[in-house]
């Protein structure tokens, strides 16, 4: 079984995907982390994330070596990740890794922006997880604050809106709900309720 979960940042799709992976015994890939790793490598190399050659090189060199996730979850890396993710050559460089992962013998769940629409168009289950900008900004702000972030909710809200704009309007594989994806709006749902709603829908398929 392949489950594709897409949605904008801080929609709750990552937490939901992890819980579904545990529940159904599937291998889980957070594809956003791949773009974050590429962005991190570009910045550590002292390059500009908008430099196509540098970003493509980092994507082609991507390996399984772990990078401390806390280093990848900062606002600066999120911003740089959405810049490298807009580059078709970066997306092409990590496409086969994602598709190979989806073929894991025990089944897989991938989350991202273009999984149902592009990476795994034949996924058995497609969910599009969303929430209002205000709710997503609040969630992300609380997460960042817990790790020592000193900015304001307004700043986080502006960053989320800017990333949405970039992710939705880029030419290659923009964020969009696949026609056959089931919409799960988590604006008014806590994670447990969202999880139960997703399981109910998946089991009904």
- Residue number with CB closer to ligand DC (168 or 188): 168
- Residue number with CB closer to ligand DC (130 or 203): 130
- Residue number with CB closer to ligand DC (26 or 159): 159
Least distance to ligand DC from the beta carbon of 44, Å? 17
- Residue number with CB closer to ligand DC (183 or 200): 183
Least distance to ligand DC from the beta carbon of 111, Å? 7
Least distance to ligand DC from the beta carbon of 130, Å? 13
The set of residues, in sequence order, having a beta carbon less than 8 Å from that of 114 and lying 6+ positions away, is 6, 91, 173, 174, 175
R_g over Cα of the chain: 16
The DSSP bridge partners found for residue 5 are: 111, 127
Main-chain dihedrals φ then ψ at residue 76, nearest 5 degrees: -65, -40
- Residue number with CB closer to ligand DC (9 or 186): 9
- Residue number with CB closer to ligand DC (143 or 180): 143
Least distance to ligand DC from the beta carbon of 76, Å? 12
Least distance to ligand DC from the beta carbon of 24, Å? 20
Q: Which residues bind ligand DC (CB under 6 A)?
A: 9, 31-32, 35-36, 78, 81-82, 85, 112-115, 163, 167
Least distance to ligand DC from the beta carbon of 60, Å? 17
State the pairing for strand pair 27-30/108-112.
Answer: parallel
């Amino acid at each position: 079984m392949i489950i594709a979960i897409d949605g904008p940042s801080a929609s709750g799709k990552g937490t939901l995907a992890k819980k579904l992976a545990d529940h159904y015994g599937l291998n889980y890939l957070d594809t956003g982390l791949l773009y974050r790793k590429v962005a991190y490598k570009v910045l550590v190399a002292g390059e500009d994330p908008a430099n196509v050659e540098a970003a493509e090189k980092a994507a082609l060199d991507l390996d399984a070596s772990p990078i401390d996730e806390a280093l990848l979850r900062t606002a600066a890396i999120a911003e740089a990740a959405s810049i490298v993710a807009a580059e078709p050559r970066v997306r092409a460089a990590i496409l086969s890794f994602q598709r190979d992962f989806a073929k894991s013998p025990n089944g897989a769940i991938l989350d991202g922006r273009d999984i149902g629409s592009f990476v795994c168009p034949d996924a058995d289950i497609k969910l599009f997880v969303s929430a209002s900008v205000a709710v997503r900004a609040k969630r992300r702000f609380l997460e960042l604050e817990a790790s020592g972030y000193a900015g304001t909710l307004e700043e986080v809200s502006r960053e989320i809106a800017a990333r949405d704009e970039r992710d939705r309007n880029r030419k290659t594989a923009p964020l969009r709900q696949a026609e056959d994806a089931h919409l799960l709006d988590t604006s008014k749902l806590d994670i447990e309720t969202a999880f139960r709603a997703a399981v109910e829908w998946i089991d009904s398929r």
